[in-house]
């Protein structure tokens, strides 16, 4: 009776026989794989580094950030894009927002994400010269010192050799370089070009040292704050508080250039500034002046000396470029609430 009951059950429920085989035989495998297993296996085709790169990238430029900021909701932005967003909002007189969640962002509400910065530094990146994959924290040293494909110049460049090529070809070129056999006149022409560039730099420092020997010298650490004009289309400008120098009252005024067409996509932003006399003059006064990085700011400048003679009809200097190094530095200054700088003034003896 037991045998007949078991055979009857298998006839009534034929699908149970395959389940029993699967349970009893460890090597049993169905004829067809499940569709879900095939679709989930495709996820493994992407490397972990690639998936992390998509997660940790900047929300604006989609590149991995070396210095990373995050909004209140955790969306990531690299330092350059973060400053650009703040600068755009300052120019358009709007509140800067996160490009993902539209929450307000500012220097105080956003924080550095050090965990992301450390994780990104361990992710591999490709050498721009030899295409080898290396962790980002060692890639810069590799490209500068170790890569055999890095660009190099001949050691006889100073005497006119124009050769440029990969580092591994440099020694072979130098052994066969013909420039050491050049005439003295040809070598002097090449050296004169180098001397001209050096002399311009030396002249700047020499001029500054000579100005420091003037009888009347003063400096002021200034803080410029943003304001808006009263025009129909308002314009952004910066102005310092009044300060005293040589028994007169002065202000520094600055404005942004190359921002009228499309401030959201401008890549050539620059700042210009002028020195404005706020006192009445009884006699002309001639000044040299130069702007430097102040002790309370981190503005990167290449100093330039300007001169102006102030009269009752000329109380403002012409607009000169603030000698910051590039437009990235300009965005950095615009992203800050104030600009800090040091102004040196030298009164020319009459």
State pLDDT tens for residues 1-42.
444 444 444 444 444 444 454 455 555 555 555 444 444 444
Is 216-347 a domain of CATH 2.60.210.10? yes
* pLDDT tens digits, one per residue of 226-237: 998 887 778 889
Q: What's the whole-number mean pLDDT along residues 210-235?
A: 89
pLDDT attached to residue 278: 94
Counting Cα atoms < 13 Å in the Cβ hemisphere of 344 gives: 18
| Cα separation, 140 vs 237, whole angstroms | 39
Question: With 70 as the cut, is the pLDDT of residue 180 above it?
Answer: yes
Is 48-124 a domain of CATH 3.40.50.410? no
What are residue 76's DSSP bridge partners?
70
**Which is more confidently placed, 297 or 112?**
112
Question: With 50 as the cut, is the pLDDT of residue 206 above it?
Answer: yes
Q: Which residue has the tokens 């981190």?
A: 298
Least confident of 18-27, 91-100, 112-121, 263-272: 18-27
pTM of the entire predicted model:
0.69
* Contact indicator for 75, 98 with CB cutoff of 8 Å: yes
Q: What's the whole-number mean pLDDT along residues 121-135?
A: 90
* Contact indicator for 89, 96 with CB cutoff of 8 Å: yes
* pLDDT class of 49 with cuts at 50, 70, 90: confident
Question: With 70 as the cut, is the pLDDT of residue 350 above it?
Answer: yes
- Contacts (Cβ under 8 Å, ≥6 apart) of 183: none
pLDDT attached to residue 262: 53
With vertex at residue 137, the alpha carbon angle to CA 133 and CA 138, rounded to the nearest 5 degrees, is 60
| Cα separation, 224 vs 91, whole angstroms | 15
Cβ-based neighbour number of residue 289 at 10 Å: 20
**Which is more confidently placed, 3 or 82?**
82
Least confident of 88-92, 283-287, 298-302: 298-302
Question: With 60 as the cut, is the pLDDT of residue 265 above it?
Answer: no
Q: Where are the domains of the chain?
A: 48-124, 157-209, 216-347
Q: What's the whole-number mean pLDDT along residues 191-212?
A: 87
For the chain, give the percent of residues with pLDDT over 90.
44
* pLDDT class of 219 with cuts at 50, 70, 90: very high
- Contacts (Cβ under 8 Å, ≥6 apart) of 251: 239, 240, 241, 242, 243, 276, 278
Question: With 90 as the cut, is the pLDDT of residue 70 above it?
Answer: yes
């Amino acid at each position: 009776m037991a045998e007949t009951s078991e055979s009857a059950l298998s006839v009534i429920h034929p699908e149970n026989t395959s389940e029993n085989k699967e349970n009893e035989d460890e090597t049993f495998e169905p004829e067809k794989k499940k569709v879900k297993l095939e679709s989930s296996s495709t996820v493994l085709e992407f490397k972990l580094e690639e998936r992390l790169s998509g997660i940790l990238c900047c929300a604006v430029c989609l590149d991995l950030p070396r210095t990373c900021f995050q909004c209140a909701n955790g969306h990531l932005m690299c330092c350059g894009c973060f400053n650009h967003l703040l600068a755009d909002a300052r120019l358009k007189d709007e509140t800067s927002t996160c490009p993902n969640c539209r929450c307000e962002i500012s220097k105080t509400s956003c924080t550095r994400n050090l965990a992301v910065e450390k994780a990104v530094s361990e992710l591999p990146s490709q050498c721009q010269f030899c295409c080898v994959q290396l962790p980002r924290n060692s890639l810069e040293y590799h490209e500068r010192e170790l890569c055999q494909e890095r660009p190099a110049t001949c050691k006889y460049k100073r005497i006119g050799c124009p050769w440029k090529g990969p580092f591994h070809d440099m020694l072979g070129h130098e052994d066969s370089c013909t420039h050491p056999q050049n005439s003295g006149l040809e070598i002097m022409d090449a050296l004169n070009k180098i001397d001209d560039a050096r002399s311009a730099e030396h002249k700047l420092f020499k001029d500054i040292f000579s100005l420091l020997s003037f009888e009347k010298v003063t400096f002021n650490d200034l803080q410029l704050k943003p304001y808006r004009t009263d025009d129909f289309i308002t314009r952004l400008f910066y102005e310092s508080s009044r300060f005293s120098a040589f028994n007169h009252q002065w202000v520094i005024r600055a404005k942004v250039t190359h921002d009228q067409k499309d401030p959201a996509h401008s890549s050539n932003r620059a700042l210009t500034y002028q020195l404005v006399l706020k006192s009445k003059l009884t006699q002309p006064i001639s000044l040299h002046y130069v702007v430097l990085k102040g002790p309370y700011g981190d503005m990167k400048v290449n100093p330039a000396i300007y001169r102006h003679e102030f009269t009752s009809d000329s109380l403002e200097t012409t607009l000169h470029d603030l000698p910051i190094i590039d437009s990235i530095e300009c965005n950095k200054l615009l992203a800050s609430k104030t600009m800090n700088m040091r102004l040196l003034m030298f009164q020319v003896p009459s």
